[in-house]
Structures are given as structure tokens and as C-alpha cells.
Amino acid sequence: MAPAQRKTVLLVHPDREVDDLLIRVVTEKGWDIQRAADNQTALSLAEAGPFDLIITGEKTSGREDVDLLRKIRSVRPHVRMIILAAESTPDDVIASLRYNAFSYFRAPFDRIALADMVHRAVSEPCWDDGIEVLSATPNWIRVMARCTLETADRLIQFLRQAHLPDAEKEDLAVAAHEMLLNAMEHGGKFDPNHYVEIDYIRTRRAVACRVKDPGQGFSFDELRHAAAGSSPEDILSHVAVREEQGLRPGGFGIMLARKLVDELIYDERGNDVILVKYLDQPAAHSRSAVPLG
């Protein structure tokens, strides 16, 4: 039996700190590393031979990297690409979603989050059809996300690129992540054949995130497996219930989300939820603005 072919990552002119981080993560997986001085060289190398992962350089703009992604997709439709952009616009982030970027980071980069996403990129066997953009209009984007933990984490990283004050952005991202996991676990049963629908809406004074799962919904009277359904006298009673039902550790999602956003509203069935975060300073209204980036 022939030995398995080693996988290769292409790094496009990273700075020293990022280079050291990426080498550490990639070599732990036994991958080979090749480097390109710029995006044009990276495109030529990708046309000449396949790579399993391409990570762009942080000295280029999001627009340049999305253009590289678009061109590479025509010859290597399934290659994973993580974009590191020095400058970014909302349109760039939306375009990266449309062309199935694995992830997107704009400066300044969160090194821990980047290392985690690179680790996922070199570990996940299936990824490139997990997020589908249904529509992207000014201030409103709608996507479908496959019911897997990995897809949830990737989608929230895109959400973290939103042009919002840091506190509001992080609060909404954490709350949305909790609701997304709930939807995927209880509504979609973590079945990769099922999808959750997510809307992200930006107004001058607020940001809203809507999560709709494919399940039958629930009643708050049935939430014995969640802290939100526990009695005030025993807020941890749901832990034993989750163990009995074979659920992952947790159950604090709804309670945590309520603390992080200003409004959390469920529909009558319980499979459709909206999170609203008010902005301290109204955003400048722009007809060309889109919610991410």
C-alpha cells in the first residue's frame, strides 16, 4: 500500500509573529509548508498544483484576497482558504462567504482565535458547503448553516468581523453562538443533513440576529435540560438531566444570551428566536452598508 500523501499549506508572505504561530499549528499535524511572496505567486502555484490550505498574507486588503480566492476557486474548487486582511470592507466579508472562504480575519488579529481556526482547517474532513448565502442586501444578510459544531464556530468568526463597538460585537457574537448551538443540537440534532437559517440585521441604533432551526420547537415548561428551566432554588438541577439524556455539557445558553443582549424573543413554537443588541452610539446610516466586515 502506497503511503498517504502529505498535506501542504501555502502561506502568503506572513509576518514573523503570524508565521511562527502558523508553523506551530500546521507542523503539529505533520503538514508540509510552502511559501509565496505575494498573491500573484500564490495563484501561479495553485494553478500548477493543489494545496490543502492557503492562508493569505496580512499585508493585503480583503478585496485583493477575495479576488485571489475567486480565481483559485476556478481551478481548485475545494481548497480551504483563510483570509488575513490588513484592510476590510463589509463587501469583502460578504464576498468571502459567497466564495466559500474557510474563515476571515481582519487586523488586528486575535492570535488565539486564528490558531484555533487554522487547527480546524487542517482537521475538518468536510466543510465547503456548510455555509450558504441566501441573500445579502444593505444591512441584512441571510445564510443557511449546516448543523455541526464546526460550522457554528466558522459562522460566528465571520460575525465577529462586523463593524461594531468591541463590547457590543463580542456580546452579540457570544449570544448568537449559544443560540446557534441550541438550534443545531435540539432542532437539528447535529445532523449535517439539516440546516439552520440565520439572519443578521444592522440598523442605525441596533443589531439583531435571528436563528431558526428545522425542529418542532419547545415550551419553556419542558426545559428541564437547561438552566433557564431550572428552579431558582437549584439552578444546576439541569446538569443531571443532561447527563441522563446524553447531552453535551452546558445548558446555560438561554440564560447567558439574556445577560448579553437587550432582548431575546422566541416565537410561539420555540424554534425561531431573535436577539437584539442596542448600540450606545447610533451608527452612521449608509445605503451601501452591509452587516458584516
Alpha carbon distance 13, 22 (integer Å): 12
CATH superfamily of 129-293: Histidine kinase-like ATPase, C-terminal domain (3.30.565.10)
**Residue 230 · residue 254 · CB < 8 Å:** no
Phi, psi angles (nearest 5°) of residue 195: -130, 150
Q: 3-41 pLDDT, tens per residue?
A: 557 889 999 987 777 788 888 888 887 888 999 999 999
Give the percent of the chain with pLDDT over 90. Answer: 53
The predicted pLDDT at position 4 comes to: 56
- 1-128 and 129-293, same CATH topology: no
Q: 92-140 pLDDT, tens per residue?
A: 999 999 999 999 999 888 888 999 999 888 887 766 679 999 998 778 9
Place of cell 432582548: 263
**Residue 213 · residue 291 · CB < 8 Å:** no
Burial of 147 (0-12, 13-18, 19+ CB in 10 A): buried
CATH number belonging to the domain at 1-128, selected among 3.40.50.170, 3.30.70.120, 3.40.50.300, 3.40.50.2300? 3.40.50.2300
What residue spans define the domains of the chain?
A: 1-128, 129-293
Find the range with the poorest average confidence among 45-54, 179-188, 240-249. Answer: 240-249
Predicted structure pTM score: 0.83
Three cell numbers written together for 16: 514573523
Alpha carbon distance 107, 84 (integer Å): 7
The predicted pLDDT at position 141 comes to: 94
- The helix/strand count (H/E) of the chain reads as 9, 11
